[in-house]
């Protein structure tokens, strides 16, 4: 089977049908290139090659998540070829992923988060207000960083304080946000199409995270944070306030409730830390 012959076809499929970013597509292709390192692989030998490849991956000193990602990349590519009737002799049972205990995402309690925002305003970095506004939006709505940065002025409905969000796989959802923050956004320059722009260009997720990194290195904040922490903290705070997990699932745009259930573990661990720290009989028994 000539891999290069179908590589471009699969690339177009990922972009046009799966709506993946160019960066995500490149990551898929890197994984596939590692498998198809030979010029040609006969279909009759493909199952043996897959089995050996997966065995060798598991022998390497790689994270389980990295192994599973590489296995998933290959599996999805071969499924595509199978659907297109290019190959028909694949044993997909070989693609069982390793058990992958999902890491409990980092989350920050509300009081600490409020202090972080206060501290961020002490930064002397240019355009800090714009970056802080992005982070506030994520914390108040649970949006992904990519979703926040892709927001257009036409996505905001001031009548019911909502935002239309276009998430993974072009799925659309409606997210509500407090009126005070939407009123604050009205002060932004609306001549541009997107909410968060610098020099007529949409700001990147990397620039937001670099702002946080610089605040940490400058001792403006005491935690090494990424924009994802603000989304995690939104979900955890909602759970702490007894919001229904199904509603949180919709707000976060999760396809599966099992993904959202990770945050229940975060909420429980936060409660335990608070109990351990502030119980009146701590260290007295």
DSSP string, 75-132: HHHHHHHHHTTS-----GGGGPPPP--PPPPP---HHHHHHHHHHHTT---TTHHHHH
Q: 55-69, 154-168, 266-280: lowest mean pLDDT where?
A: 266-280
End-to-end, the C-alpha distance of the chain in Å comes to 70
Active-site pick, 168, 176, 186, 214: 168
Burial bucket for residue 74 (CB in 10 Å: 0-12, 13-18, 19+): buried
Does the structural domain 110-278 have CATH classification 1.10.1200.10?
no
Q: What is the pLDDT of residue 156?
A: 92
What is the enclosing helix (H) or strand (E) of 10?
Answer: helix 3-16
3-95: CATH number = 1.10.150
82 is catalytic: no
C-beta of residue 266 within 8 angstroms of C-beta of residue 259: no
Q: Do domains 3-95 and 110-278 have the same CATH topology?
A: no
144 is catalytic: yes
Q: What is the mean pLDDT of residues 110-124?
A: 92
Which is more confidently placed, 171 or 13?
13
Residue-range domain boundaries for the chain:
3-95, 110-278
Active-site pick, 173, 202, 228, 250: 228
Q: How far apart are CA 253 and CA 213, in angstroms?
A: 27
Q: CB neighbours (10 Å) of residue 57?
A: 18
Which band of pLDDT confidence, cut at 50, 70 and 90, is reported for residue 285?
very low
Q: What is the pLDDT of residue 19?
A: 77
Active-site pick, 70, 75, 144, 232: 144
Residue for token digits 């058990």?
99
């Amino acid at each position: 089977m000539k891999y290069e012959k179908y590589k471009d076809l699969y690339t177009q499929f990922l972009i046009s049908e799966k709506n993946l970013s160019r960066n995500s597509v490149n990551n898929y292709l890197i994984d596939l290139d590692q498998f198809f390192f030979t010029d040609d692989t006969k279909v009759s030998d493909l199952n043996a090659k897959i089995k050996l490849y997966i065995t060798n991956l598991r022998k390497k000193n790689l994270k389980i998540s990295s192994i599973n990602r590489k296995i998933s990349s290959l599996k999805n590519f071969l499924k595509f070829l199978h659907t297109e009737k290019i190959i028909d002799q694949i044993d997909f049972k070989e693609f069982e992923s390793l058990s992958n205990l999902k890491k409990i995402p980092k989350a920050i309690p509300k009081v600490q988060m409020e202090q972080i925002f206060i501290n961020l305003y002490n930064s002397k970095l240019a355009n800090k207000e714009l970056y802080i506004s992005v982070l506030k939006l994520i914390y108040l709505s649970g949006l992904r960083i990519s979703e926040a940065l892709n927001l257009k002025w036409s996505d905001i409905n001031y009548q019911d304080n909502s935002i239309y969000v276009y998430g993974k796989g072009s799925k659309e959802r409606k997210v509500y946000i407090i009126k005070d923050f939407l009123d604050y956004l009205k002060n932004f320059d609306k001549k541009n199409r997107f909410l968060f722009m610098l020099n007529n260009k949409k700001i990147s997720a990397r620039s937001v995270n670099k702002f946080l990194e610089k605040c940490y290195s400058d001792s403006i904040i005491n935690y090494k944070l990424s924009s994802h922490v603000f989304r995690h903290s939104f979900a955890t705070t909602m759970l702490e306030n007894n919001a229904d997990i199904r509603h949180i699932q919709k707000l976060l745009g999760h396809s599966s409730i099992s993904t959202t259930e990770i945050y229940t573990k975060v909420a429980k661990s936060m409660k335990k830390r608070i109990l351990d720290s502030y119980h009146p009989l701590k260290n007295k028994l």
